[in-house]
Amino acid sequence: MKEFSIKWRGSKKPGKQRKFRINAPLHVRGRFLNVHLSKELGKQHNKRSMRIRKGDDVKILRGEFRNKTGKVERVDLKKGRVFVSDMVVSKKDGTKSYISIDPSNLVIVEIKTDDRKRRKMLEKNAGEQK
């Protein structure tokens, strides 16, 4: 049986859509980590969404920590989850643990632009707007 095919993405069948997401290789899974930009950032950079990364400031839209903002501490590419600072839960033994959040429940409020490649991509999109 085939391990993975990019053609599964085009199927309407929910089973094939799940199969696509579960069996996707890491370079494809990175696309699942795109997060919407805030309205101000969207207008400024002429983009609707972009890939989230460690250091970005995000606002949580759903769940226990709704309407709270924090800095991204870790991005788990394998599981497709994001860990945000100050969003912790106390475990029974007293230790603190980060809560994993789905990227669809986040909005990027501030972009970390210390990476030259990322800065160049943002400037290119802002230039197309003018």
Distance between CA 66 and CA 27 in Å, rounded?
30
Q: For residues 76 and 1, which has the higher predicted lDDT (pLDDT)?
A: 76
Please say if the pLDDT value at position 126 is more than 80. Answer: no
Assess if residue 47 is contained within a domain.
yes
Domain-embedded: residue 55: yes
Phi, psi of 89 (to 5 degrees): -130, 145
Please compute the mean of the pLDDT values over residues 14-28 and round it to a whole number. 88
User: By the 8 A CB rule, do 80 and 32 touch?
Assistant: yes
130 pLDDT above the threshold of 60: no
Q: Give the CATH number, domain containing residue 68.
A: 2.30.30.30
- The answer as to whether 103 is a domain residue is yes
Q: Can you give the pTM of this predicted structure?
A: 0.85
Which tens digits make up the pLDDT trace of 27-51?
Answer: 889 999 999 999 999 999 999 999 9
What's the structural domain count of the chain? 1
Q: Which domain holds residue 107?
A: 34-129
Q: pLDDT band for 58, please (50, 70, 90 cuts).
A: very high
Strands 96-101 and 34-37 come out as unpaired
Residue carrying the six token digits 């707007």: 129
Question: What confidence tens digit (pLDDT) does each residue in 76-125 have?
Answer: 999 999 999 999 999 999 999 999 999 999 999 999 989 898 888 888 87
Biggest distance spanned by C-alpha atoms of the chain = 56
Indicate whether 66 belongs to any domain. yes
Model pLDDT, residue 1: 59
